[in-house]
A and B are shown apart, each in its own frame.
Chain A
Amino acid sequence: MDLPCGTRNFDYASDMAVLRTRTHWGLFFLLLVFIFTAPLYWSNYWLSIANLIGITVIAITGLNILIGYCGQLSIGHAGFMAAGAYTTAVLTGKLGIPFLASLLCAGLTAGIIGIVFGLPSVRVKGFYLAITTIAAQFIIIWVINHWTSVTGGFVGMKVAPASIASFSFNTEPRQFYLIMAIAALVVFFAKNLARSRVGRAFIAVRDNDLAAEVMGINLTYYKLLAFFIGCFLAGIAGALFAHWSRFLNAENFTLADSILYIGMVIIGGLGTTIGPILGAVLIRLLQQGIMYITPVLEGTFPTLPAGFTTGIGPMVFGLVIILFLILEPRGIAHRWTLFKAAYRLWPFSY
């Protein structure tokens, strides 16, 4: 266990607690204070990046439950996000349903669609499932693009900002609080799900689904439950994205995004709670860095080819995914664990 020397367990509750020592509590408190006072000294630009990161963390946490814990590869996560986003856009915009109810509906819709496309997972796995979820991605986006009367088709649709009672989340700082609160809840939920009966069943299914079935785990139930939870969170993330960007278009949810989400989970670390957070932060910051640095580079080196601006992003992300898989398949989360161990044992690391 990664606990400091002298920390003893006297009962089950203290053994299972997430935060054990005074330092843990202190750091946790500092983190909360840091996050929730951020709007006081961050500019709107950085807040918008933080909002996007928060939304991504929610989506990636769902994907991590699906891939990292249950071992079911889904390459259609952006499609499930789109389902949630358009559900809340239609419910709040056209039917006037309050935000919280439509957020829940968005999650449920995405979750149910996830179950439908997850059905083949009962019989097949690995590559077959990957292909099915790619098909899901294309079918969902096609429906959105061609069901013009409801979704606005290729033109897209406007979405009103989120509002609870008469309080409207119409500025970046307000949305920041909303998104961060939900993201914190989701991370807390994921952390506890992984330690529960359900999470242990997921891990058993991931490691060997036949062995899990022999041990009495209902494969159909748990695989579809993983799809439901993963896609439910994707739907929530999509709904928050809709209210945050206030304009929806199928271009926001492409296959490339789905691949990028998988990349984030891998880079962060599969099957860990902190992994999705690290992966989302790293990739989104990398995106911002590339967006910042390409005009500068083009200014200094005018001989760069015309496709430099659009091409450099995918190249870098593809390379990062490949390099992480080859060099550090357990992701940044593993490095983080190593760092904590080294810190705890310093200076006597033997």
Chain B
Amino acid sequence: MAELLQYTITGIAVGMVYALIALGFALIWKSSSIANLALGQLVLISSWFTYGMLVQAKFPYWLGFPLTILFALFLGWLIERLTLRPLIAQPILSLITVTLGIAYFLEGVVTFVWPMSVAALPRLFPQEPVHLGPAVVSQEYIWAAVVSLLLFGLLSLFFKYHKMGIAMRATADDQLAIQACGVPVTSVFSTSWMFACVVAAIGGVLISCIGGITYGLVETGLKSFSVVILGGLDSFIGCIIAGPIIGLCENLGGGYLTPLIGPGIKDIIPFIIIIVVMVFKPYGLFGEKRIERI
């Protein structure tokens, strides 16, 4: 029983972080319909950057984290400005593959600057575990879930009330119409990329507090694709609901299936979910089914 509760809590917490990273994907997809496959690498590089700031440059937290956020903002702007702006109105295949090129490039940058493959962030949260009934959960999970939820709330408010947020939703709805209304669509695109990078950076820091900084962070980013797929590509609410579901499946499945099938089943569950969802409900739980005309 304690086991079940523990898997459930850690699963939901990790799932919240997945949901956060997936939100970054949905942001870009909604505003510019570009599928950002470099998500994992964005998570990886911003976690390493945090490591560089906090451990290698020995900055205090109050300086290190804002610098990371600034770095993520700059990275997002740079990617949009240099690689995606010239490709506006190109076929979808080029848009997807250019993010693959970015992914490859960022991976090279990471191995170039940080050749050690494993590192740990300094302890950000108190160490003593929390007792929730019979389960013992380390505090990082709780904090990760709380921070993700908080950010999620903030972002929803931003989309609801801020001028830029409204512009972003409008761009997602109809690019031509919004251009005619005088909204600079290109700056909406770069803002969405900057937001996505920041969200990926925060998600990366939260995940690397739990599991350390490894190459596995790329897989974390790829796993959040399963959140996007299950939730439906163009739905924010889908992310927040599908995230914990994926986290639960991963942790419960990992916990109970490992003795039956073998170690490592945990890492493959989100990908199996992708295939299953694809075959049976390709537009996800909340996704909008596109009807095409010729």
Contacts and interface: CB of A to CB of B under 8 A. Distances in A.
B264 interface: yes
Contact of B108 (A123, A126, A311): A311
Contact of B115 (A311, A313, A326): A311
A131 B274 contact: yes
A127 B92 contact: yes
Contacts of A73: 93, 96-97
A145 B267 CA distance: 13
B278 A124 contact: yes
A130 B96 contact: yes
A120 B279 contact: yes
Contacts of A152: none
Contacts of A266: 97
Instruction: Tell me if A's interface is mostly helix, strand, loop or mixed.
Output: helix
B100 A326 contact: no
Given A263-B104, A326-B83, A146 B93 contact: no
A167 to B, nearest CB: 41
Interface residue range, chain B: 35 or more
A157 B262 CA distance: 20
A124 B282 contact: yes
A120 B108 contact: no
B67 interface: no
B108 to A, nearest CB: 3
Interface residue range, chain A: 35 or more
Contact of B94 (A124, A313, A315, A329): A329
A71 interface: yes
A126 B278 contact: no
A319 interface: yes
Contacts of A127: 29, 35, 92, 96, 233
Interface of B: 29, 35, 37, 83, 86-87, 90, 92-94, 96-98, 100-115, 219, 222, 225-226, 229, 233, 262-264, 267-268, 271-272, 274-275, 278-279, 282, 292, 294
Given A127-B233, A256-B107, A314-B111, 10 more contacts: A123-B279, A270-B93, A311-B108, A311-B115, A315-B108, A321-B97, A325-B97, A325-B101, A326-B86, A329-B90
27 contacts: A71-B93, A120-B282, A123-B279, A123-B282, A127-B35, A127-B96, A127-B233, A130-B37, A134-B37, A135-B274, A139-B272, A259-B101, A262-B97, A263-B101, A306-B115, A307-B111, A311-B108, A311-B110, A311-B115, A314-B111, A318-B102, A318-B106, A318-B107, A321-B98, A322-B83, A322-B105, A326-B83
The 8 A-B residue pairs with the shortest CB-CB distance in the complex, in nearest-first order: A318-B105, A311-B112, A314-B108, A315-B108, A307-B115, A321-B101, A318-B104, A127-B35
Interface of A: 67, 71, 73, 75, 117, 119-120, 123-124, 126-128, 130-132, 134-136, 138-139, 142, 145-146, 208, 210-211, 214, 256, 259-260, 262-263, 266, 270, 305-308, 310-319, 321-322, 325-326, 329
